[in-house]
Amino acid sequence: MTLVAVDFGIDQALEKLGIKETNNGTSTGSDYFSSGEIIDSYSPVDGALIGKVKSTSLNDYEKVIETATEAFQIWRKKPAPQRGEIIRQFGDKLRELKEPLGKLVSYEMGKSYQEGLGEVQEMIDICDFAVGLSRQLHGLTMHSERPGHRMYEQYHPLGIVGIISAFNFPVAVWAWNTALAWICGDVCVWKPSEKTPLCGIACQNIAAEVFKANGLPEGISCLINGDYKVGEMMTNDKRVPLVSATGSIRMGKIVAQAVAARLGKSLLELGGNNAIIVTPDADLKMTVIGAVFGAVGTAGQRCTSTRRLIIHESIYNKVKESIVTAYEQLRIGNPLDENNHVGPLIDKDAVAMYKDALEKVVDEGGNLIVKGGVLEGEGYESGCYVYPAIAEADNDFKIVQHETFAPILYLLKYSGDVENAIKIQNDVVQGLSSAIMTNNLREAEIFLSAAGSDCGIANVNIGTSGAEIGGAFGGEKETGGGRESGSDAWKIYMRRQTNTINYTTELPLAQGIKFDL
């Protein structure tokens, strides 16, 4: 890895995170040299080259899997509460390094510094959750139909958990998976996005320090770097019983087919086309705040970003005017400057997709009421800054049905009862997050009922983004159906075993079957 000097205090942050120039491209802590290709990490903030990281070759990958397999033999035998103590220390280390890690997230990915700090806080929160969980990996007991028998269920660790994460949450999603997998007794092999490799190295360094201090093997936490070809090594590897993948629907379908072909398990958190329904009984001020943050936060690059605003015709013009006025107040620029609301898109490819989407919505008959555009001039030299756009459109437009990872908000109009709005909301292939703005209890309950939102997340009087780690996170339909983070999401990282114990001197069979010798 080669580092390049940068401004904004990033060099000091890198130093605190233990990132320094090295020939070890995979950064697993191993003493071998990677023979993989070079990955350049450019910041979308100013276009500067932050560092060069070597990708993982097939030989490197084999060594990583061997290291992880050996570590699993030790880690799985450690009592869960003792594993919890290690995760507690990891969380404390994250508290200590929250500022530099949050700054690196902001600079390498492009989200605001406050959002970068918030992402690290999510890591801390899931560690706290996991520590408590370490004493609550409960099974079930049940009564046997056979006299003198006891039945129960228990959970055991799976082994190696493969994690493929996306650039938009370069550290938090890894932590959601890893903290729970570690508590369950699994070891983890992580392939972060090739667009944010330094965030992955920083997290690996933090984890490695904690494990080393406790005399535990490095293979409990492993890192592999590279593009989809490196990910394919893991998805096709029968030694990895579970692959958790976050990304596009297209990518998720590829991962799901590869893992299913070897009868492995996959946990998928894929695209979202999230909507907020605004009824006549909505609080307008809350609506504007929720919709604007949902649409422009992280420059529209959250899987839970608000893409569609479904507004009742009786208040449509009023809501539209308020949203447009709010957009006029947005400040776009360096995300490390906390006065700015919106940072850059991740790269110029994302900018091209943003421009293409704006052209398509117009071609399909939409009306750009906030035209958007690419920003140029001082402070925008990276070419990755765009102005958030708003378009009046119809839900059946092809571009509206498609998730564009950029700050484009589509305004849709509905008439009649809330059921009509729910039908529009559900009429997309994605099913991640949804929200309704209303002070009408009946409308809220219909929205949350079995006949309401078909999404994995359904909110009332808050926006579509900003999930807490206590609840399981994920969605339905082509969003993948997986669940990460809180609730009972831990069960996906374990295998369930049913046990029957006979403490008699007889051997009765179930269902009254007789078999005498």
Task: For residues 248 and 118, state if they share a domain.
Answer: yes
pLDDT above 70: percentage of residues in the chain = 96
226 and 83 within one domain: yes
Give the lowest-confidence range in 5-19, 77-91, 133-147, 165-179. 5-19
The verdict on residue 139 lying in a domain is yes
Q: Which of the residues 269, 403, 443, 484 is marked catalytic?
A: 269
What predicted TM-score, i.e. pTM, was given to this entire model?
A: 0.95
Q: Do 341 and 430 have their domain in common?
A: yes
Is the backbone of residue 254 left (phi > 0), alpha (psi -120 to 50) or beta?
alpha
User: Domain residues for 69?
Assistant: 58-270+480-496
Q: Does residue 458 form part of some domain?
A: yes
Residue 217 lies in a domain: yes
Q: How many domains are contained in the chain?
A: 2
Map tokens 């605004």 to a residue: 278
CA separation for the pair 87, 182 (Å, rounded): 8
- Is 298 inside any structural domain? yes
269 is annotated as an active-site residue? yes
Active site residue 66: no
Is 321 in the same domain as 343? yes
The per-residue pLDDT for range 409-434, each reduced to its tens digit, is 999 999 999 999 999 999 999 999 99
Provide the greatest CA pair distance for the chain.
91
By three-state DSSP, how is residue 424 classified? helix
Task: Quickly list DSSP for 252-319.
Answer: HHHHHHHHHHTT-EEEEE----EEEEE-TT--HHHHHHHHHHHHHGGGG-STT-EEEEEEETTTHHHH
Beta strands, E only, 224-351: 242-246, 265-269, 274-278, 306-312
C-alpha pair distances (Å), 466 with each of 124, 152, 287, 457, 463: 16, 38, 15, 11, 8
Active-site pick, 222, 303, 384, 455: 303
Q: Would you place residue 29 in the very low, low, confident or very high pLDDT band (cuts 50, 70, 90)? A: very low
- My answer on whether 95 and 229 are in the same domain is yes
- Are both 244 and 317 inside the same structural domain? no
Tens of pLDDT, residues 341-387: 999 999 999 999 999 999 999 999 999 999 999 999 999 999 999 99
Domain check: are 435 and 487 in the same one?
Answer: no
Same domain, 337 and 200: no
Tell me the pLDDT tens digit for each residue of 275-314: 999 999 999 999 999 999 999 999 999 999 999 999 999 9
Q: Assess whether pLDDT exceeds 90 at residue 33.
A: no
Q: Residue 468: pLDDT band by 50, 70, 90 thresholds?
A: very high
- Indicate whether 186 and 281 sit together in one domain: no
